[in-house]
């Protein structure tokens, strides 16, 4: 687009099924429309594994929401829940991903001081283990 703005469809809420999101992306067929792959929600909602979700969405992934969780607790620090972020990072490296990763700490106490440094350390460790 002239203004270099990209609109991302997030795999969240009613759009957790990566197959549905891919159908929208194919129909839109526009370079300024991409996917914000929130890797947790398709897995937790039972629509797809990380591997399946990535394979379906990889042509359009430009942004990620990263946070961890489990069936017992809503959100957890990365590496303490059921979501395999290392697997997602490995897959992104196969497509030379150069987009953004965004952490989500909804309702957490001072997340930038208490959680961001830890999350960055965990993600860097995953990257170095590739």
Whether pLDDT at 97 is above 70: yes
Report which of 111, 51, 127, 28 is spatially closest to residue 77, judged by C-alpha positions: 111
Pick the range with the lowest mean pLDDT from 10-24, 55-69, 70-84.
Answer: 70-84
Cβ(88)–Cβ(122) under 8 Å? Answer: no
For residue 3, the model assigns a pLDDT of 84
What CATH number is given for 7-128 in this structure?
3.20.20.150
Whether pLDDT at 54 is above 90: yes
Q: How confident is the model at residue 73 (pLDDT cuts 50, 70, 90)?
A: low
How does the average pLDDT of the chain come out, rounded?
A: 91
Report which of 54, 108, 112 is spatially closest to residue 86, judged by C-alpha positions: 54
Q: How far apart are CA 112 and CA 119, in angstroms?
A: 10
Residue linked to tokens 């629509």 = 47
For residue 1, the model assigns a pLDDT of 55
């Amino acid at each position: 687009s002239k203004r270099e703005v990209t609109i991302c469809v997030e795999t969240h809420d009613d759009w957790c099924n990566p197959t549905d999101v891919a159908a929208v992306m194919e129909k839109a067929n526009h370079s300024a429309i991409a996917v914000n792959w929130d890797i947790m929600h398709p897995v937790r909602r039972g629509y797809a594994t990380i591997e399946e979700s990535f394979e379906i969405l990889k042509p359009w992934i430009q942004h990620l929401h990263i946070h961890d969780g489990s069936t017992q607790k809503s959100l957890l620090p990365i590496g303490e829940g059921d979501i395999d972020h290392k697997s997602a990072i490995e897959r992104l490296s196969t497509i030379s991903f150069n987009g953004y990763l965004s952490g989500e700490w909804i309702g957490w106490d001072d997340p930038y001081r208490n959680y961001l440094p830890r999350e960055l350390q965990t993600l860097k460790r995953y990257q170095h283990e590739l």
